[in-house]
Structure 1
């Protein structure tokens, strides 16, 4: 075929621009769909891989913590120990109206959602894209996870952890368990964690069953943001009311309340009834809580267990007894009170239970507990000498030197105002608190008298201590010249005599119940010791009853029931006079009253009162009294009487002391005409006939146990009301080593 006859090929038509774009758009869309599908597959796979690898971590220990509650023995609340104010309650004890109020406020789909909120997730993603901080909107499960397993940081990593843990928890744990945990851990403001603490914080109602619908709705309102909905800020009241009405509307929608109820409740917020904002240790009760905590520590509980264990501790203190004691200690005082301190304690005989104590007016202002602070017991230590002498075979008929002075290891020691009594028996010596007679008994007639005295005191319940142990070799121990005991100690020791010689460890905790309701301690298991034979205790009681009938404690007769007791004062050089005393080489020794005591008891109650003065309790008490000295038979006894007259423990009771087993020479002997010298012969003129059960184990001797260990002090320029002996190593500048004691 020729070139000319060949036909030309048809020309191609030009494509339209719109068709090309659509073609490529479809291709791109296809790729995007494919990638999206792959992404979904990959994301789903990644989700399940991460889900499978996600482990629910250990809970935050602080949110397992529960408040330890301390109660008075009669059930009234004494206080709490906590890091977080939180008390868990089972879900079954939280009524439906309270549960529904919380759900209406925080998560209305709680029972049906998978533990996470898609809308909340979308909002979180949107905020992340904008570079903003993550916001709320989480489900209750998510909030619970954040509290119990994570932290409060608002970061993307924490949020994604929260989502996975919440999802897994929702599948593995029953919703009821999650709700129970949430209701016991969420913060409601006012330092309250959980619905029980919140009810107490806002309405004084720790029992959720007692919360009304409006109260429950209010609590659900504030938990959303305790700061934003702080009821104490009036500027917040409008938004609080709006949120409160929102909660009520949710409760209506769930069928918890009717429309009529909603209308009625929505008119106003419920009345807020917050407890007084005060520290748990404020006032006199702070000393009680401190003692309970110290005993818990002593019994092996750690600080963390005490503040987080959720224990219920029933103390031995009685709220009514405590209030009566506070009234007496703060009202029955001298008119001049500035710088004056009172320590008081009451013990139930035969139990070791401290049922009331006054350590000071306010623990927050001063933690120095005047009821537990060791002080010089003075002549109130003499009953232990009586018990020691009776145990050693001496009797009521033993003649003792009552004249003043008496020489002990080269020291001339005297009576109050140097009074002479002549020869006296043990009963009269105790009744009139005759110092020289007790020096004669313990330091001359009894072999190793001070040692036996200390043994008897410790058997009665006076705790061992350095100064008391040193007293085993101290010829002035019988007059309590060193800080041997506190009011708490003396109340418990005298209670031993009241209980027929039975001694029980002093304690402040009656029982402890753990968080699960199991009783793990009871004081009924504490060991009881027969410290003294009943007959001997009865004799001591009988002698101390005479102190009230016709001795230095006659004022206690106003109690109008059988009472026994002993006065005591301890002298020395007051802090304000020590510089002057140093200049005159001890010329003021024994011239001031540093402590004044009255410890009195019935078979049902033993109470001790001690007075001291000055910042450290080392000032002179005499300026506070119109008497020659601040005697225990005056203000200490008056304060004691004010409490004992009103004590519920004695209401309607008139229990007598046990009868005394008579002996041939129980009464004081006839006083001979010849006055004994200050240095008796080597053998006592009236050899003791021995106690009812036998004779002394050793022949009494008046030979001093050793050479003098100190030089005689100078006679005071003012007549002292007590001996002027300074213990071995004594230093009038040192408050731990005072002078002697007196009435």
Structure 2
């Protein structure tokens, strides 16, 4: 080998030696790190002391107030607890809880290594600390620590649990756990739980099935809420219940035959205690809604029921009283099985100021203000906004005659009335169905999809029914349970706020027992998003003011201030007629009014009212009126007006900012309809909250002169579609859970 080649090989050997040395250093550092970690763990373990039992466990009741923080709305569960010795808790009950929560309880050191790994992984990923807790860890968290989810709290829990597992008899830990764990329904401990769910105070009298269900619930009283009618919740409960029984069988507590026998059905809840009287009346719906939002914001059941929280809601005390009066007094004379849902939202803040879900939460937990329903024609403003975004003009003309053929289906106006070619302004004002079918399904590319985009952007929650509407030509008439009164008030509030959207909410502030602010809705309000352009919102407001001045909502003029809004009714087959309708091949399709709406707003307040009838809200509303139909411009508007007059009393008038002259003059009006003259543009005024006196009122918006009243034609016989549609049609099941479908899409005014 040459001298040059021998010299070239030396750098290679030096690189190899350098790499080996680096690996050696890394191995040494890793070894030192492991030693350091073990040493740190040992030091922390030795210096950690088991503290005194948490004196705060006596539980502070969480209090809830109206927005003014003076008037109490109520409180959540007060602590229900009765301590019993382990000797009075039979083995079947002990084993049910162990099978559910910690099957290695009698042998583990108080902590779960796999749980620690999961916790460490969560810490590294920056995720919430959760999962993997043994019974000992859960007991430590309840008795010695707080409910907060932080790294330091989790580490303390691990060290204390380890020490407790080595220093305290397991039976003592289990006894403490069974007397302190939260089972929901305000019940802490097994004795209180047996009493709350089954009317059985003595744990010795609990059956295997009852013990298994209690062990099921304690894992997460919200996810396994036995009062929740949602079939998904029931499915979760059954699956968890079977998991507990299987564990008991594997532990030898019950036989395989007993596991099968007990798994065939859940134990009876006939003796379950009724909700506390603090939920009585209409305010029970407010408390329930506040509780649900607290859970969504990450507060635990234990914190809510007994964490001593000070919860301030967005509900306005004065507004709520006025809404209650309107909802329970401004009604038709016939009221049996007639239901009203109402909601008022403050534009620009997303705050729900008032809500009426029913007369008494204890008698029925079905909230008519949050229950999804068919919005009918009150969905048309979203189509209007989508059309404006699609570069359409309010002066563009569309087919107003009835019927119109869409995908081979003949679709009609209410009472088959003809209007000729009409502008988009006139179509909205008079709620002309065929013109909106023409707009969305013929004149716009992918119209239903664009309509849904706008609806979701301004505040209508995304649901499977609304998403299905992206492919449904009848979506523009709101044929499916797309929205609730709360949803509609929120979405129209976005129009009132010139397109700015803030998520609807009912929690204004939460403070801990020490007064520390744990949540403030300023975090939501400060992140308002421009859901639709200002110009689009201003034009929608302009058009919906015409609905009041000249159209189906002209009764709202009695408010005597600038107001915009839209009526809505949805037709279908009443639940009482569905069997007959099926037998006669659809002879009663579209014969009933199933929902009736009025959603109206000023720049300061957006309020929606929905009427429904029957046990499930699926009966015919037309039975409650002498009019041709139970239109949104009748009783829903009257109830709305009764509330809004009082709600806005003392608040100065504020006009809606007008669209620009260029926007109003874009295009030329159709000969069939003469648009009103342009109105001078007003400077937007600030929006004071209801019941807050405003500064000097701005000048009133010039009043538009309505045309002479048009005689109402006689009610003709409704014509059924001549061809079955090949797109989704009206659901007719219970609130938000349709089960049967007639063939006629929703319609009406």
TM-score by length of 2: 0.59
Equivalent residue for 1:325, pick from 304, 317, 323: 323
Cα separation, partners in 2 of 1:726 and 1:301, compared to 1, 3 Å:
farther
Q: Residues of 2 paired with 1:514 and 1:656: CA distance?
A: 41
Q: Residues of 2 paired with 1:491 and 1:724: CA distance?
A: 36
Aligned alpha-carbon RMSD (Å): 2.8
Q: Residues of 1 paired with 2:658 and 2:728: CA distance?
A: 44
> Does structure 2 conserve the Cα–Cα contact (< 8 Å) formed by 1:395 and 1:666?
yes
Does residue 435 of the first structure (1) align with residue 411 of the second (2)?
Answer: no
> Does structure 2 conserve the Cα–Cα contact (< 8 Å) formed by 1:377 and 1:479?
yes
Q: Deviations over 1:521-542 (max 9, x none)?
A: 1111112110111111110000
Alignment of 1:29-428 (within 5 A): 57-59=52-54, 62-63=57-58, 65-75=59-69, 76-84=71-79, 279-428=277-426
Cα separation, partners in 2 of 1:657 and 1:470, compared to 1, 3 Å:
same
Q: Displacement of 1:447 after TM fit?
A: 0.2
Does residue 595 of the first structure (1) align with residue 601 of the second (2)?
Answer: no
Q: Residues of 1 paired with 2:562 and 2:720: CA distance?
A: 29
> Does structure 1 conserve the Cα–Cα contact (< 8 Å) formed by 2:460 and 2:488?
yes
Q: Residues of 2 paired with 1:721 and 1:313: CA distance?
A: 53
Q: Residues of 1 paired with 2:668 and 2:588: CA distance?
A: 36
> Does structure 2 conserve the Cα–Cα contact (< 8 Å) formed by 1:381 and 1:479?
yes
Alignment of 1:6-45 (within 5 A): none
Q: Residues of 2 paired with 1:723 and 1:356: CA distance?
A: 45
Q: Deviations over 1:448-489 (max 9, x none)?
A: 000000000001100000000000000000000000000000
Specify the SS of the correspondent of 1:313: strand
Does residue 531 of the first structure (1) align with residue 539 of the second (2)?
Answer: no
Q: Residues of 1 paired with 2:585 and 2:376: CA distance?
A: 24
Equivalent residue for 1:444, pick from 430, 442, 449: 442
Q: Residues of 2 paired with 1:350 and 1:721: CA distance?
A: 43
Does residue 740 of the first structure (1) align with residue 746 of the second (2)?
Answer: yes
| Structure 1 residue runs without a partner (length 5+) | 1-53, 87-147, 150-190, 192-276, 674-715
Q: Deviations over 1:501-546 (max 9, x none)?
A: 0000000001111111111211111121101111111100000000
Q: Deviations over 1:378-427 (max 9, x none)?
A: 00000000000000110112111000000000000010100110111110
> Does structure 2 conserve the Cα–Cα contact (< 8 Å) formed by 1:352 and 1:503?
yes
Q: Deviations over 1:102-124 (max 9, x none)?
A: xxxxxxxxxxxxxxxxxxxxxxx
Specify the SS of the correspondent of 1:640: helix
Q: Residues of 2 paired with 1:651 and 1:728: CA distance?
A: 49
Q: Deviations over 1:154-173 (max 9, x none)?
A: xxxxxxxxxxxxxxxxxxxx
Q: Residues of 2 paired with 1:529 and 1:643: CA distance?
A: 29
> Does structure 1 conserve the Cα–Cα contact (< 8 Å) formed by 2:573 and 2:592?
yes
> Does structure 2 conserve the Cα–Cα contact (< 8 Å) formed by 1:590 and 1:722?
no
Q: Displacement of 1:730 after TM fit?
A: 4.0
Cα separation, partners in 2 of 1:58 and 1:723, compared to 1, 3 Å:
farther
> Does structure 2 conserve the Cα–Cα contact (< 8 Å) formed by 1:67 and 1:85?
no
Cα separation, partners in 2 of 1:580 and 1:62, compared to 1, 3 Å:
same
Q: Displacement of 1:650 after TM fit?
A: 4.7
Q: Deviations over 1:421-445 (max 9, x none)?
A: 0111110000000000000000000
Q: Displacement of 1:721 after TM fit?
A: 11
Q: Displacement of 1:62 after TM fit?
A: 3.4
Q: Residues of 2 paired with 1:297 and 1:723: CA distance?
A: 49
Cα separation, partners in 2 of 1:393 and 1:334, compared to 1, 3 Å:
same
> Does structure 2 conserve the Cα–Cα contact (< 8 Å) formed by 1:510 and 1:523?
yes
Q: Residues of 2 paired with 1:564 and 1:544: CA distance?
A: 5
Cα separation, partners in 2 of 1:289 and 1:724, compared to 1, 3 Å:
farther
Q: Residues of 2 paired with 1:425 and 1:717: CA distance?
A: 25
> Does structure 1 conserve the Cα–Cα contact (< 8 Å) formed by 2:425 and 2:543?
yes
Q: Deviations over 1:625-681 (max 9, x none)?
A: 11111000000000000000111x4523201101211236447723369xxxxxxxx
Q: Displacement of 1:602 after TM fit?
A: 0.1
Q: Displacement of 1:316 after TM fit?
A: 0.2
Cα separation, partners in 2 of 1:308 and 1:348, compared to 1, 3 Å:
same
Cα separation, partners in 2 of 1:731 and 1:341, compared to 1, 3 Å:
closer
Equivalent residue for 1:517, pick from 508, 515, 518: 515
> Does structure 1 conserve the Cα–Cα contact (< 8 Å) formed by 2:397 and 2:422?
yes
Specify the SS of the correspondent of 2:538: helix
In the alignment, which residue of structure 2 is the partner of 1:571?
571
Equivalent residue for 1:462, pick from 442, 460, 481: 460
> Does structure 2 conserve the Cα–Cα contact (< 8 Å) formed by 1:570 and 1:722?
no
> Does structure 2 conserve the Cα–Cα contact (< 8 Å) formed by 1:725 and 1:740?
no
Specify the SS of the correspondent of 2:651: coil
Q: Residues of 2 paired with 1:432 and 1:507: CA distance?
A: 33
Cα separation, partners in 2 of 1:609 and 1:56, compared to 1, 3 Å:
closer
In the alignment, which residue of structure 2 is the partner of 1:620?
620
Q: Residues of 2 paired with 1:720 and 1:568: CA distance?
A: 20
Does residue 471 of the first structure (1) align with residue 469 of the second (2)?
Answer: yes
> Does structure 1 conserve the Cα–Cα contact (< 8 Å) formed by 2:618 and 2:732?
no
Does residue 503 of the first structure (1) align with residue 501 of the second (2)?
Answer: yes
> Does structure 1 conserve the Cα–Cα contact (< 8 Å) formed by 2:66 and 2:317?
yes
| Structure 2 residue runs without a partner (length 5+) | 1-48, 82-142, 145-185, 187-274, 674-714
> Does structure 2 conserve the Cα–Cα contact (< 8 Å) formed by 1:413 and 1:724?
no
Q: Displacement of 1:717 after TM fit?
A: 10
Cα separation, partners in 2 of 1:347 and 1:668, compared to 1, 3 Å:
farther
Q: Residues of 1 paired with 2:310 and 2:502: CA distance?
A: 23
Q: Deviations over 1:705-728 (max 9, x none)?
A: xxxxxxxxxxx9942799998673
> Does structure 1 conserve the Cα–Cα contact (< 8 Å) formed by 2:314 and 2:352?
yes
Q: Deviations over 1:317-367 (max 9, x none)?
A: 011100100000000000000010000000000100000000000000000
In the alignment, which residue of structure 2 is the partner of 1:658?
657
Q: Residues of 2 paired with 1:393 and 1:479: CA distance?
A: 21
> Does structure 1 conserve the Cα–Cα contact (< 8 Å) formed by 2:395 and 2:669?
yes
In the alignment, which residue of structure 2 is the partner of 1:490?
488
In the alignment, which residue of structure 2 is the partner of 1:682?
none
TM-score by length of 1: 0.59
Cα separation, partners in 2 of 1:308 and 1:629, compared to 1, 3 Å:
same
Does residue 632 of the first structure (1) align with residue 632 of the second (2)?
Answer: yes
